[in-house]
Structure 1
Amino acid sequence: MLTLTHHGAVTGVTGSCHELTLHGPGGAKGGMLVDCGIFQGSEAAGRSNADELAVDFPLAHIRALIVTHVHIDHVGRIPHLLAAGFDGPILCSPPSALMLPEILEDALKIGFTRDTRLIERVLDRIRARIVPVPFGQWHTVFNDGAGRLAIRLQRAGHILGSAYVECDATTVAERERIVFSGDLGAPDSPLLPEPRPPERADRLVIEATYGDRNHEDRATRRHRLQAVLEHALADGGTVLIPAFAIGRTQELLYEIEGIIFEAGDDPRWKELDIVVDSPLAAEFTRLYRNLKPYWDEEATARVRQGRHPLSFDQLLVLDRHEDHLKAVDYLTRTGHPCVVIAGSGMCAGGRVVNYLKAMLGDARNDVLFVGYQAAGTPGRDILTFGPRGGWVMLDGERHPIRAQIHQVGGYSAHAGQADLLRFVAGIPEMPAEIRIVHGDDEAKAALKKKLEEAGATCVLVPNSTAIAASAAPAVPMIASWQQE
């Protein structure tokens, strides 16, 4: 028997964690997890910090963790997973293997401890468990009394290193090909090759972040991005882009470099500064530059022309906190046109909050959202109430919104509805079962309807996180690591 259990990303878009378990004869059992992320926004509301990060399901039979990509809502609970007793390998693509310790180090500093020795101890354990698995190659997870399980990673086009997971699972009674989509990217995303559908999927677990809408095509969203930048040039304002450190920041830099390059000798564009105010984003931009073999053909062609899509003349990176505070003050006081890319992507913390508090009240400025804004986050509130002249709560204070608010969904790095349907349609035979996860209720319902119209006969929408009755109590993470 093969069972699927969902430990997250079923009531929204965060906390991704899915379990595939093989049940052999005589009670033998072996399983694996796909991702282990944190909950954010309204999905974290009502949870204590311990509950939000808890790994409170049985782990004795879990042989491996598969990481689809290194966004925090897919990997943020990994330290807690190890503290709860998981001692298997962490399988991921080679780029993800390089980036995973970096993203977790930042998360640990923010939400766990500032004790550098303790952080390094956690990271050493994680590094020791990471096993890079090349794209397109089968890797055996286990082959014993529980059955045989092998996985193959395929490019997902979401961020650098992102993968969807093909699972070949065999027990005495059955054999199935089960596919976990992870987060799929749009076909025309900058820098990354588009995802190609699997050759087979008896069961498919698919994300639905944008299951109810389609993105603008790349030419349209690039034109809209340029229009927002031109507004900054016209009135000396700041374009503030809340963006996650991995993926969106690099795609935006790539597109902005292209816009500036095509402007030629136009002096206006020479005045525009591009600031990346995030040490983590700066580090991942460096890693992106070092991983050129994983770029798509368009990006590598730019490099052959002598261009530097992620390292151009007008790009300034701020690392020190003192420089960040000076930049906020300078841009608030002056009329120098500037684009600031800062985290976090949903405005729930990080350096972007200082910019928002200083700049939301000035009509010269623009806030451009390029990624999904989960319910319950300040980003969702700004997007919802900003166009009405409303306000948002930041650090416990009400801030009026007079800046112009924009959204360009195509840079979200998530596939739109048509892209998701095309991915499923590209599978030679329709899966016997499709499970829709990682989406708001409306998005999942819309995608379910479209899939059924396309001929899918069994489309399921899990609506609650499954916690086994025999689960052990959650282990307090900091106590666990300090005892070692």
Structure 2
Amino acid sequence: MALLTFIGAIQEVTGSCYLLETRDGVRVLLECGMRQGRSGNKGTRDNEATNRTPFPFDPKELDAVVLSHAHLDHSGLLPRLAKEGYKGPIYATESCCDLLELMLMDSAHLQEKDAEWENKWRSRLGKPPVKPLYTVEDASRALNQRRRVSYGSTVDVARGIRVTFHNAGHILGSAIVELEIHEFGSTRRLVFSGDLGSTCSPLMRTPTPLSRADVVLLESTYGDRDHRDANETLLELAGILQRAQNEGGNVLIPSFAVGRTQDLIYYLGRFYQEGRLPQQVVYLDSPMAARANNIYLQHIGEIADVDREYMRGTGTAKVGEWLPILRTTQSADESMALNRIKSGAIIIAGSGMCTGGRIVHHLKHNLWREECHIVFPGFQAKGTLGRAIVDGAETVRILRQRISVKAQIHTLGGFSAHAGQSQLIQWVGHFENKPELYLIHGEREKMDVLKGALQDRLNWTANIPEPGDRIAI
């Protein structure tokens, strides 16, 4: 009987990681995610510091790694895994592999830059230097271990372990992972939802329903509620943009470079095509997001038919035609120049939870201005700067300065790329015979609500594991 160990994204939304071990010694790692955000409320060390703690397994003894999608909370420690001796294959969908190169190389550059910056301060204090979590060379090593798998294809990833990727509808290349475990003449089936997409999201297809499993791991990011209707959210966004234009302020939108930014460009393009976009310029201040746009276009066949046909119907198959007022910035100087713009601009920049990146500098220059509007289109994890702002902090610390929060803050409930509670229940409800169900990738209070809803609606008791728990498959 195989064993599954819950390592990361257990009662939290970052650091996704699970270890599958069979009786004859095969070890397959499902996800290798980075922890993001902060823990505690008194200036404690970054949750990210836990990314340096030893893996609870020997990377050299792993036979395979299987990845659901490219977001760093699912993939971000792959370079460190390779650095510490893992030499085996990393299986992911074809488009995920393309995005993975973008994500990991960018992360490695940031790791090197952050270590360089930190060491400047440490040298002044007489402290020893720190090394980056991993380097560009480490990321390149991990990327060379990628193995591309198309949706619906079944591959042998290790002795007795077969994997099939199904469309999860979350971001480009995102997958529901189905693992078949063949041991001693019997077959057991583990299904990992990955991050399930919202059926209201643009561009992505509806998550593939599955019906057979012995054990299901279900994400629960929004297990406590349903998302607001997408059309209502679009009306709210249009109203915010008009108010900002009337009041003479900028609109800042913290956004993840992969997934959320492409959704926003699609929606702003719709506004532009329909004559409902009052601003004269939209800045995409994220070279990474611009490169992600190109990868999305390279895999246009994965885009939902209805959205692809809508764009074709307007005669705007390319981003430049769809949203011609979009401007992308590449250099740091171009980014800093945006801080001289006092009104009339929409600025989309990373990171999505304001834990770093160019959005932090734009917040420093706009957050204290009452006429400016900050729009949060997605989930803000506990301990992040974005969560502090959303929760109503009067001041926040940005780049070693205390900044007053005077701008108008908006959270949009219909833009999430994650399934809401009803969508989660609908998807997992397709499984026959109620397999063992474990809730992962969610904050504890949201898991508790989802567990109650599953009991009420499906008469199905879900389990909430603790970090380090092991179960038999």
- TM normalised by structure 2 equals 0.89
Secondary structure at the aligned position of 1:361 is classed as coil
What is the CA distance between 1:188 and its match in structure 2? Answer: 1.9
Answer yes or no: is the 8 Å Cα contact 2:37–2:47 preserved in 1.
no
Partner Cα distance (1:161, 1:438) in 2: 19
Partner Cα distance (2:433, 2:455) in 1: 14
In the alignment, structure 1 residue 165 sits paired with structure 2 residue 165: no
- Look up the equivalent residue of 2:263 and give its one-letter code: E
Secondary structure at the aligned position of 2:390 is classed as helix
1:166-222 CA-to-partner distances (Å, cap 9, x unmatched) read 011111164211101111110121101010221312110111100001101211111
Q: Find the counterpart in structure 1 of residue 127 from structure 2.
A: none
Alpha carbons of structure 1 residues 2 and 419: separation in structure 2 relative to 1, 3 Å: same
Q: Find the counterpart in structure 2 of residue 3 from structure 1.
A: 3
Q: Which runs of 5+ in 1 are unaligned?
A: 468-484
Q: Find the counterpart in structure 1 of residue 223 from structure 2.
A: 211
Answer yes or no: is the 8 Å Cα contact 1:367–1:406 preserved in 2.
yes
Which 10-residue stretch deviates more, 186-195 or 2-11?
Answer: 2-11
Alpha carbons of structure 1 residues 302 and 248: separation in structure 2 relative to 1, 3 Å: same
Partner Cα distance (1:463, 1:410) in 2: 30
Partner Cα distance (2:407, 2:366) in 1: 7
Answer yes or no: is the 8 Å Cα contact 2:212–2:431 preserved in 1.
yes
1:369-397 CA-to-partner distances (Å, cap 9, x unmatched) read 011111111100100115xxx12121232
Answer yes or no: is the 8 Å Cα contact 2:6–2:466 preserved in 1.
no
- Look up the equivalent residue of 1:241 and give its one-letter code: I
Q: Find the counterpart in structure 2 of residue 353 from structure 1.
A: 360
In the alignment, structure 1 residue 290 sits paired with structure 2 residue 298: yes
Answer yes or no: is the 8 Å Cα contact 1:257–1:309 preserved in 2.
no
Q: Find the counterpart in structure 2 of residue 473 from structure 1.
A: none
What is the CA distance between 1:417 and its match in structure 2? Answer: 0.6
In the alignment, structure 1 residue 37 sits paired with structure 2 residue 33: yes
Please point out which of 406, 409, 413 is paired with 2:413: 409
Secondary structure at the aligned position of 2:100 is classed as helix
Partner Cα distance (1:53, 1:340) in 2: 33
What is the CA distance between 1:129 and its match in structure 2? Answer: 0.7
Please point out which of 443, 449, 455 is paired with 2:452: 449
Answer yes or no: is the 8 Å Cα contact 1:12–1:438 preserved in 2.
yes
1:260-308 CA-to-partner distances (Å, cap 9, x unmatched) read 1112xx7xx4642111001111111121122101111122213422114
Q: Find the counterpart in structure 2 of residue 310 from structure 1.
A: 319
Answer yes or no: is the 8 Å Cα contact 1:55–1:77 preserved in 2.
no
Q: Find the counterpart in structure 2 of residue 343 from structure 1.
A: 350
Q: Find the counterpart in structure 2 of residue 135 from structure 1.
A: 151
What is the CA distance between 1:259 and its match in structure 2? Answer: 1.2
- Look up the equivalent residue of 2:167 and give its one-letter code: R
In the alignment, structure 1 residue 107 sits paired with structure 2 residue 107: yes
Secondary structure at the aligned position of 1:92 is classed as strand
- TM normalised by structure 1 equals 0.87
Answer yes or no: is the 8 Å Cα contact 1:302–1:308 preserved in 2.
no
Q: Find the counterpart in structure 1 of residue 370 from structure 2.
A: 363
Answer yes or no: is the 8 Å Cα contact 2:38–2:47 preserved in 1.
no
Q: Which runs of 5+ in 2 are unaligned?
A: 117-131
Please point out which of 260, 271, 275 is paired with 1:259: 271
Alignment of 1:36-435 (within 5 A): 36-43=32-39, 46=45, 51-59=50-58, 60-112=60-112, 119-143=135-159, 148-172=160-184, 174-263=186-275, 269=277, 271-305=279-313, 306-308=315-317, 310-311=319-320, 312-329=323-340, 331-332=341-342, 335=343, 337-385=344-392, 390-431=394-435, 433-435=436-438
What is the CA distance between 1:309 and its match in structure 2? Answer: 6.3
Which 10-residue stretch deviates more, 41-50 or 421-430?
Answer: 41-50
- Look up the equivalent residue of 1:401 and give its one-letter code: V
In the alignment, structure 1 residue 436 sits paired with structure 2 residue 452: no
- Look up the equivalent residue of 1:226 and give its one-letter code: A
Secondary structure at the aligned position of 2:360 is classed as helix
List 4+ stretches of structure 1 deviating above 4 A. Answer: 43-50, 113-116
What is the CA distance between 1:48 and its match in structure 2? Answer: 8.1
Answer yes or no: is the 8 Å Cα contact 1:141–1:149 preserved in 2.
yes
Partner Cα distance (2:366, 2:262) in 1: 24
Alpha carbons of structure 1 residues 2 and 412: separation in structure 2 relative to 1, 3 Å: same
Partner Cα distance (1:104, 1:153) in 2: 21
What is the CA distance between 1:402 and its match in structure 2? Answer: 1.1
Answer yes or no: is the 8 Å Cα contact 1:240–1:368 preserved in 2.
yes
1:406-430 CA-to-partner distances (Å, cap 9, x unmatched) read 0012212111111100111122332
Which 10-residue stretch deviates more, 374-383 or 46-55?
Answer: 46-55
Partner Cα distance (2:346, 2:352) in 1: 15
Answer yes or no: is the 8 Å Cα contact 1:434–1:458 preserved in 2.
yes
Answer yes or no: is the 8 Å Cα contact 1:197–1:426 preserved in 2.
yes
Identity of aligned residues (%): 33
Partner Cα distance (2:428, 2:26) in 1: 28
Which 10-residue stretch deviates more, 352-361 or 393-402?
Answer: 393-402
Answer yes or no: is the 8 Å Cα contact 2:83–2:138 preserved in 1.
no
CA-based RMSD: 2.1
What is the CA distance between 1:95 and its match in structure 2? Answer: 0.5
Partner Cα distance (1:371, 1:271) in 2: 22
- Look up the equivalent residue of 2:316 and give its one-letter code: R
Secondary structure at the aligned position of 2:180 is classed as strand
Which 10-residue stretch deviates more, 368-377 or 299-308?
Answer: 299-308
1:458-484 CA-to-partner distances (Å, cap 9, x unmatched) read 4211122459xxxxxxxxxxxxxxxxx
Partner Cα distance (2:105, 2:459) in 1: 42
Answer yes or no: is the 8 Å Cα contact 1:55–1:81 preserved in 2.
no
What is the CA distance between 1:125 and its match in structure 2? Answer: 1.7
Secondary structure at the aligned position of 1:454 is classed as helix
Alpha carbons of structure 1 residues 435 and 49: separation in structure 2 relative to 1, 3 Å: closer
Answer yes or no: is the 8 Å Cα contact 2:28–2:158 preserved in 1.
no
1:220-270 CA-to-partner distances (Å, cap 9, x unmatched) read 11111111111122122111000010000000000110011112xx7xx46
Partner Cα distance (1:457, 1:428) in 2: 12
Report the number of matched residues: 446
